[in-house]
Copies of this chain bind each other. A is one copy, B any other.
Amino acid sequence: MNIQDKIKALRELQSRMSAYEHAMSLIYYDGATTAPKGTAENRGHALAILSEETYKMATGGETVRLLEELDAVRDTLSDEDSRMVYLMYKDIKELKKIPLEEYVAYQELLVRADDVWHRAKESSDFESFRPVLEEIFAAEKRFAAYCAPEKKPYDYCLDKYEPGLTTEKCDEFFSALKERIVPLIAKIAEKEQIDDTCIHGKFDLGAQRDFSLKLMKHMGIDLECCGLGETEHPFTTSIGSHRDVRITTNYSEDDFTSSMYSVIHEGGHALYDMNSKDSYAYTVLDGGISMGIHESQSRFYENLLGRSRKYIESIFPIIRECFPEETVNTTPENLYRAVNRVSPSLIRVEADEVTYCLHVMVRYELEKRIMSGELEVKDLPIEWNRLYKEYLGVDVPDDRRGVLQDSHWSGGGIGYFPSYALGSAYGAHILSKMKNDIDVDTCLANGDFAAINNWNREKIWSHGRMLPPDKLLTSVLGEEFDPKYYLDYLEEKYSELYGLN
């Protein structure tokens, strides 16, 4: 085979693997949204087999040889082909280090764990979840030892979600945040609290569902290629390629902004996923490059845009239309203030922007200590509750609103959480650059996302996985990432809101 034939073979392999990814993402999505409750085992059977097939396809001699040969001539390939070879070879070299049986057993474990977690959360019973969570952490430790024995086990986890991220960098980043966020929270606590009664009441679920679709359309999501589902925990997934993306939300009858901000958050993920260069479909270049960059987009739409005064003013008529009676006494300004109320609380996904990163730090601390062996899974609830008291000053009343609240651990997502904080900070730095090119406030005031989305598409989304996260970020920012933009943003916004200084 000459090089062009090899590239063709590699593209065919990626296309074939994308069909398996399509199937597996859909089985997962179905399991979380519509599958009957008693079908997890059946789903596990299929996923185990399909993941075995992909493992074999990826690590088979033919594939490895192809990649070895192409890797040797990588500097002669086009940028896209070269990146394709790099990404695949890197993943596959790592995957080969995990024995097939362990890999398959882990996929089955995750299906089981998802089911167990749902039931455990419902009954607020950590003990029933503990055994599978122990298995998950044990597997992660083994995988870390197989794949990256030279690293701290937790660094292996972090790198999966944000290539290049380490415990050291995280510690530094979080300590920079703490230094300015903790005093900010203290100052806010001294001030009169914002009245947020306008977001509470009884909001019909049918009206909330309609509202979700309107929100998605308003932010420029093409509903022909993006679906909306309902799950215990909101998430976004693409099905096989960027041409089919699904987001989910979770409705709270007594607060319409709970789902509203989930929809905008997941909508940000969806926009990123849906806007890869079209020719990247069915290749490894399709989709987002890291979870940090991903969260920079989701938290950008959710907070930097979605919790801004101008956005609230432009979305307000739609809110009035969907909930006419419930919002009869609400003004845009009241609503703006209510959705920005700062108050240490229990649930991460509902947390305000200022305290949000403390929720992330709790999880980061716990994961780090479990992966290093300092902490045992059985002690998670006690430690969780202790850290919530220490960091946020709140008492956790039960595990449902504590250690069982997130779906990440049951899904094997250890090392994911820091992405939320990183992404939030990336986003603020990105916004400062966007404002040099675009009058963001006017776009928001007009409810016109075209210019904003075009900017993100050109600078970030369309690149798919072509650039590593640090390079992508530097290319967007024109300088090194710096969390100070985020901290400046928080201080400025909340000083105005709470009348600080």
Residues of chain A whose beta carbon lies under 8 Å from any beta carbon of chain B: 15-16, 18-20, 22-24, 26-27, 30, 33-39, 41-43, 45-50, 53, 206, 222-227, 229, 239-241, 243-244, 246, 281-282
Contacts and interface: CB of A to CB of B under 8 A. Distances in A.
27 contacts: A16-B49, A16-B53, A18-B45, A18-B49, A19-B45, A19-B47, A20-B50, A22-B27, A22-B42, A23-B27, A23-B46, A23-B50, A26-B27, A33-B34, A34-B34, A35-B227, A35-B239, A36-B224, A36-B227, A36-B244, A36-B246, A37-B224, A38-B224, A38-B243, A42-B244, A43-B240, A46-B240
A42 B241 contact: yes
Nearest to A24: B23
Given A34-B227, A36-B226, A225-B38, A46 B19 contact: yes
Contact of A229 (B27, B34, B38): B34
Given A26-B30, A27-B23, A30-B26, A225 B39 contact: yes
Copies of this chain, tallied across the complex: 2
A479 B364 CA distance: 71
A281 B239 CA distance: 27
A239 B39 contact: yes
B240 A36 contact: no
Given A35-B239, A36-B226, 7 more contacts: A20-B50, A36-B246, A38-B224, A39-B225, A42-B243, A45-B282, A206-B206
A15 B49 CA distance: 8
A239 to B, nearest CB: 7
B42 A239 contact: yes
A30 B227 CA distance: 11
The DSSP consensus for interface residues of chain A is helix
Contacts of A34: 33-34, 227, 229
Contact of A26 (B23, B36, B53, B240): B23
A207 to B, nearest CB: 12
A407 B265 CA distance: 37
A226 to B, nearest CB: 6
Nearest to A48: B19
Contacts of A22: 27, 42-43, 45-46
A224 B48 CA distance: 22
A39 B243 contact: yes
Contacts of A226: 36
A49 B19 contact: yes
Given A36-B227, A224-B36, A227-B34, A243 B23 contact: no
A244 B43 contact: yes
A267 B222 CA distance: 35
Contacts of A244: 35-36, 39, 42-43
A206 B243 CA distance: 31
Nearest to A282: B45
A281 B39 CA distance: 13
A37 B34 CA distance: 18
Contacts of A246: 36
Contacts of A240: 42-43, 45-46
Contacts of A206: 206
A105 to B, nearest CB: 16
A45 B243 CA distance: 11
A15 B104 CA distance: 15
